[in-house]
Amino acid sequence: MAKTTLTEICGCIHLHTTFSDGGCGYGAIIAAAGGAGLDYICVTDHMTLEGKRAGFDGPRDGGIFVLVGYEHNDNDNRNHYLAFGVNKTAEDSTDPQKYINRVKQLGGIGFLAHPAEKRNYIADLPPYPWTRWDATGFDGIEIWNQISDWMEQLRGWHSFTKLFRPNRSIGGAPTELLRKWDAMNGERFVSAIGGVDAHSRKFKKGPFSYVIFPINVELRGIRTHLFVDKSEWGDKSKMSGALISAMRDGRGFMSNFSRGDARGCKMFLRDETGAIQYPGRQTPPYAAPSFPITMNVELTRKAKITLVRNGKPIQSQKAKSASWTIVDKGVYRIEAHRGRKAWIYSNPFPIGGYPFTTLNDEQ
């Protein structure tokens, strides 16, 4: 562990504009992001980097940093993949492994997008799941997708009550996806992000139309909080690299703003020297820990805080802060719930060397 020089940035990932199937242009989204108090946004239009060619990539007025990536999909419109840090799109859509590899060859990183979708209640809103779980080389998973969370709860157009306060319906990341993620992290580090999947589109039913998630509402839901080097985030030439590496290495956590503003929340390990470690990939790997280590959680609001080790909840308490002594190697992470809704998921804290025994292995 080393003494930290990191600062927190808060933003929204997985946004669509009028360059693909979104309802807002860059100007409207950037203005809404400023009004929502965000530090960055990541735009991922389908199969295009037109936003980058149009000059929107980089720091903008109002203190918003814009990272332009794109969303790839296969020929069956499944296996969607969020790619960042590339200057061109992958050419092949026949095989997810090929575009995962190509993004890597182009110097980028990638995340499986809304991988656990399964809804089949409304013909106009089909699922777009990830089916190629044998694929390798991806950097992370969009563990919590805002629009998927909302739509998976719909049971037909009679679910009208969810149309008027959609963010209040956001429940949490899919349990089966959390289990997959935990299992993967037993073998290697797999980062997670939260995604908005913003479209700001009108839904029509007969003579009626309604924008379910206006952009100012969409940006007040799922957010990804990242810890970046203070000096790099203050240097315009290094901001893109700082953001991309923090996403790749999982240096942060995801939150649902509708359950409370999580800016300022902290989850960190502290060793006997007083040095702290935030969530994320350890470089070099923290393979020889000196126990005991304390896991510390400091929240801005009271919540049910749960400590998870190797996919299994091992400690829980309802409080604004918690501290637990860690004496065993494993992959740890933090969850926080307010009421029956998820509020926060941290990225993993790997303590020890890979591979780890996960809950899936134990059953």
94 in any annotated domain: yes
pLDDT of 256 = 97
pLDDT of 157 = 55
125 compared with 228, residue with greater pLDDT:
228
pLDDT of 363 = 45
120 compared with 82, residue with greater pLDDT:
82
96 in any annotated domain: yes
Q: Is the pLDDT confidence value at 75 over 90?
A: yes
pLDDT of 215 = 94
* Paired strand residues for 197: none
127 in any annotated domain: yes
Q: Is residue 211 classed as helix, strand or coil in its secondary structure?
A: strand
pLDDT of 24 = 95
Residue 316 phi, psi (nearest 5): -155, 140
Most confident option among 166-170, 182-186, 351-355: 182-186
3-state secondary structure 28-90: HHHHHHHHCCCCEEEEEEECCCHHHHCCCCEECCCCCEEEEEEEECCCCCCCCEEEECCCCCC
pLDDT tens digit sequence for 133-180: 999 999 999 999 999 988 877 765 555 555 556 667 899 999 999 999
Q: Is the pLDDT confidence value at 330 over 90?
A: yes
286 compared with 330, residue with greater pLDDT:
330
Q: Model's pTM, two decimal places?
A: 0.94
355 compared with 160, residue with greater pLDDT:
355
What is the pLDDT averaged over residues 50-69? 96
Q: Where are the alpha helices (DSSP H) in 194-350?
A: 215-218, 230-233, 239-249
What is the pLDDT averaged over residues 235-244? 97
Q: Is the Cβ–Cβ distance between 205 and 176 less than 8 Å? A: no
Residue 361 phi, psi (nearest 5): -70, -30
275 in any annotated domain: no
pLDDT tens digit sequence for 26-54: 999 999 999 999 999 999 999 999 999 99
pLDDT tens digit sequence for 185-219: 999 999 999 999 999 876 666 676 667 779 999 99
Residue 227 phi, psi (nearest 5): -110, 120
46 in any annotated domain: yes
pLDDT of 168 = 74
Beta carbons within 8 Å of 29's beta carbon, 6+ residues apart? 15, 17, 41, 43, 198, 215
CA–CA distance, 304 with 317 (Å, rounded to integer): 6
Q: Is the Cβ–Cβ distance between 252 and 280 less than 8 Å? A: yes
Task: Give me the chain's average pLDDT, please.
Answer: 91
Q: What is the CATH number of the domain that holds 114?
A: 3.20.20.140
Q: How many domains does the chain have?
A: 1
pLDDT of 293 = 93
What is the pLDDT averaged over residues 271-278? 86
User: Which domain does 142 fall in, by range?
Assistant: 7-260
pLDDT tens digit sequence for 303-321: 999 999 999 999 999 999 9
Q: Is the pLDDT confidence value at 5 over 90?
A: no
286 in any annotated domain: no
Beta carbons within 8 Å of 237's beta carbon, 6+ residues apart? none
Query: At residue 16, what is the residue type?
Result: H
Q: Is the Cβ–Cβ distance between 247 and 109 less than 8 Å? A: yes
267 in any annotated domain: no
Q: Is the pLDDT confidence value at 262 over 80?
A: yes
156 in any annotated domain: yes
Residue owning tokens 């969850």? 335
pLDDT of 164 = 58
